[in-house]
Amino acid sequence: MDSGIGGLPYCRHFLARNPDESVVYLADRFNFPYGGREKEELVRIITNLTKQAVKIFNPKIIALVCNTASLTALSHLREYFPELSFVGTVPAVKPAVLASKTGKIGVLGTELTVREAYIEQLAAENGGGEIIGIAAPELVRFVEHRFASASAEEKAEVVQSYVDRFRSAGVDVLVLGCTHFLFLLDEFKQKAAPSITVFDSVKGVTRRVESLLAEKFAEVCESNTAGSRLVLTGNTAPEHSWKYWAGRLGFTVSLLENA
């Protein structure tokens, strides 16, 4: 689950390692973007969406492939749905702090993510450091609406401005704290090198899902007859961009009932 396309790299990585599993990628297009909303509102939105997902898809595991949703609503969801297994996505602050030589850790995310006290707590628990957070809602919108058609020069240019700001602040590690930014991972690594190392959470999320599958569903043998699906909230027909991404991943695309 994510508000838009941000979690698709997580799906791609997971399915490359687990081709016999089927995934429902639920994109909350109707409520995009999440980052500027109040916490109480976002918890309500995600809880209602989870209720629908459970009723319709009966998932083994729900992965919130959204940093903002995870930091805001994950603990509530685990209390509200105690019978379900949830995996959250949080910024890769721990490995970044451990790798930093300057003690200055850059975090690029949504407004809500960079305000979240949990980021500072993560840093403190792993040796400390100064968190330098930059909110980039316009970059989220760029990835969501323009990435597929943007030129290589446009992608490089939009990344360069953020890297320059972090470099000026003296950071030597940069955490991509929004799943949407994974689409620009190569550009960030190229522009940040050699003085700044870029961190993301894709592998960690996949490992956690795999761990839960092995722990709770090792004896469950089900054939993957449904295939993987990309499901959108909202009552308008899927835009061309959604059909493009579904085609790239080999997913069918549909609308969520009653959304």
pTM, entire model: 0.91
CB half-sphere exposure, 199, CA atoms < 13 A: 22
Per residue of the chain (259 residues), give pLDDT as tens: 999 999 999 999 999 999 999 999 999 999 999 998 999 999 999 999 999 999 999 999 999 999 999 999 999 999 999 999 999 999 999 999 999 999 999 999 999 999 889 899 989 998 989 999 999 999 999 999 999 999 999 999 999 999 999 999 999 999 999 999 999 999 999 999 999 999 999 999 999 999 999 999 887 655 454 689 999 999 899 998 999 999 999 999 999 966 5
Domain ranges of the chain: 5-89+203-255, 93-200
Distance of CA 85 to CAs 82, 140, 181, 241, Å?
8, 28, 26, 31
Known catalytic residues are 66, 178
Record: fold of 93-200: Rossmann fold (3.40.50)
- Name the CATH code of domain 5-89+203-255 (choices 3.40.50.1860, 2.60.40.3880, 2.60.40.10, 3.30.200.20): 3.40.50.1860
At 218 the pLDDT is 81
Is-same-fold flag (5-89+203-255; 93-200)? Answer: yes
Please, are residues 126 and 93 in contact by the beta-carbon 8 Å criterion? yes
